[in-house]
Structure 1
Amino acid sequence: MAVAMTACTLGLHFHLTSDNTLRPFEKTTVFRAFSIPHATKLCYVTHKIRLASSGLTIMRRATTVTGTVEDGNEGEVDTIPTPVVIIDQDSDPDATVVEITFGDRLGALLDTMNALKNLGLNVVKANVFLDSSGKHNKFSITKADSGRKVEDPELLEAIRLTILNNMIQYHPESSAQLALGAAFGLVPPKEQVDVEIATHITISDDGPNRSLLYVETADRPGLLVDLVKIITDINIAVESGEFDTEGLLAKARFHVNYKDKALIKPLQQVLVNSLRYFLTRPTTEESSF
Structure 2
Amino acid sequence: MLDGVSRVILSANFHIKHDPVSDIVNYQLIGYTYSAVNVICSVPLSCPPLFLSANFWFPCCHLYRICCQPINSANVSGASSTASDDAVPQPVVLIDQDSDHDATIVQLSFGDRLGALLDTMKALKDLGLDVTKGSVATHSAVIETKFHIMRLGRKVEDPDMIEKIRLTIINNLLQYHPESSEKLAMGEVFGIKPPEEKVDVDVATHVIVQDDGPERSMLDIETADRPGLLLEITKIIADVNINVGSAEIDTEGLVAKDKFHVSYRGAKLDSTLSQVLVNCLRYYLRRPETDEDSY
Q: TM-score, normalised by structure 1?
A: 0.77
Q: CA deviation at 1:21?
A: 4.8
Residues 282/157 of structure 1: CA separation in 2 closer, same or farther (3 Å cut): closer
Q: CA deviation at 1:13?
A: 4.9
Are 1:234 and 2:240 counterparts? yes
The one-letter amino acid paired with 1:95 is A
Which residue in 2 is equivalent to 1:60? 79
The one-letter amino acid paired with 1:52 is I
Identity %, equivalent residues = 55
Q: CA deviation at 1:88?
A: 0.4
Mapped contact 1:103–1:133 kept (Cα < 8 A): yes
Mapped contact 1:83–1:178 kept (Cα < 8 A): yes
Mapped contact 2:201–2:289 kept (Cα < 8 A): no
Task: Within 5 Å, give how 1:148-167 maps onto structure 2.
Answer: 148-167=154-173
Paired residues, what number? 242
Are 1:200 and 2:206 counterparts? yes
Are 1:244 and 2:246 counterparts? no
Q: CA deviation at 1:288?
A: 3.0
Which residue in 1 is equivalent to 2:219? 213
Are 1:253 and 2:259 counterparts? yes
The one-letter amino acid paired with 1:258 is Y
Which residue in 2 is equivalent to 1:86? 94
Which residue in 2 is equivalent to 1:125? 133
Using the alignment, how far apart are the partners of 1:123 and 1:275 within structure 2?
A: 33
Which residue in 1 is equivalent to 2:275? 269
Q: Deviation digits for residues 186-238 of structure 1, max 9, x if unmatched?
A: 21111211011001111100000000000000000000111011001110000
Q: Deviation digits for residues 141-193 of structure 1, max 9, x if unmatched?
A: 001xx210100000000000000000000000000110111132121111211
Which runs of 5 or more structure 2 residues have no equivalent in the other structure?
1-9, 20-24, 34-67
Q: 1:171 aligns with which of 165, 172, 177?
A: 177
Give 3-state SS (helix, strand or coil) of 2:221's partner. strand
Q: CA deviation at 1:241?
A: 1.2
Are 1:135 and 2:154 counterparts? no
Mapped contact 2:81–2:177 kept (Cα < 8 A): no
Mapped contact 2:105–2:149 kept (Cα < 8 A): yes
Using the alignment, how far apart are the partners of 1:286 and 1:125 within structure 2?
A: 43
Q: CA deviation at 1:58?
A: 4.0
Using the alignment, how far apart are the partners of 1:57 and 1:165 within structure 2?
A: 17
Mapped contact 1:212–1:255 kept (Cα < 8 A): yes
Which residue in 1 is equivalent to 2:118? 110
The one-letter amino acid paired with 1:261 is A
The one-letter amino acid paired with 2:79 is R
Mapped contact 1:63–1:80 kept (Cα < 8 A): no
Residues 177/50 of structure 1: CA separation in 2 closer, same or farther (3 Å cut): farther
Q: CA deviation at 1:283?
A: 4.8
Are 1:185 and 2:191 counterparts? yes
Mapped contact 1:60–1:104 kept (Cα < 8 A): no
Q: Over aligned residues, Cα RMSD in angstroms?
A: 2.8
Give 3-state SS (helix, strand or coil) of 2:213's partner. coil
Are 1:280 and 2:286 counterparts? yes
Which runs of 5 or more structure 1 residues have no equivalent in the other structure?
1-9, 30-48, 65-75
Q: TM-score, normalised by structure 2?
A: 0.75
Using the alignment, how far apart are the partners of 1:136 and 1:275 within structure 2?
A: 31
Q: Deviation digits for residues 3-37 of structure 1, max 9, x if unmatched?
A: xxxxxxx776547454435599xxxx9xxxxxxxx
Q: Larger deviation: 212-221 or 174-183?
A: 174-183
Using the alignment, how far apart are the partners of 1:118 and 1:283 within structure 2?
A: 34
Using the alignment, how far apart are the partners of 1:216 and 1:168 within structure 2?
A: 23
Using the alignment, how far apart are the partners of 2:11 and 2:76 within structure 1?
A: 13
Determine which structure has more spread, i.e. the larger CA radius of gyration: 2
